[in-house]
Structure 1
Amino acid sequence: MESQLTRICKFLASRIVPGSEPLRAKRDISYRDMADLLGMHRITLYKVMRQAQERGLFSFDKNSDEIFILKPDEFYKEAHL
């Protein structure tokens, strides 16, 4: 069974903006829809993303549609890619 963070990273990896520097992913759906798609509650999604942000894995603002990947190697490892 994949962790919640792994599912989030896989989702974000599928939305990486090609050639972006720093690496970034577009969040093109709402957090509610993203949580539903990933099989978790919206609040759980946000908590897991905040924990990853505290670890320095990625950076995001809940009002922005861009998520900046700060540690690409660790991010892709977490996503199993």
Structure 2
Amino acid sequence: MTIEANTRLSGLKFAVGFASHSQAVVSEAANNLGDALGSFVTIIGTRLSQKKNGPAPSLQPLFSMSALKLWPDPSRVCFTRKKST
């Protein structure tokens, strides 16, 4: 109901804003449209979070592997020195 009301209100404000050349009213229409989008995202997020698909997957291996790639083991790093001739 809130999404529908915000969308209709936004459409009405856009029409009035363009007809009266009022940037303030058009801006308010965009604000109402953003509120409708925020409500939609909230509803979708709530529905997705209520699904029961078992335990959430662990992201620990992903982060530990990326850390190993970024910071190699110091014991395996070999620094060589160029000999001057």
TM-score class normalised by the smaller sequence: under 0.3
More helix by share: 2
Structure number, greater radius of gyration = 2
What's the TM-score once normalised by structure 2's chain length?
0.22
What's the TM-score once normalised by structure 1's chain length?
0.22
Query: Which structure's relative contact order is higher, taking Cα pairs within 8 Å and 6+ residues apart?
Result: 1
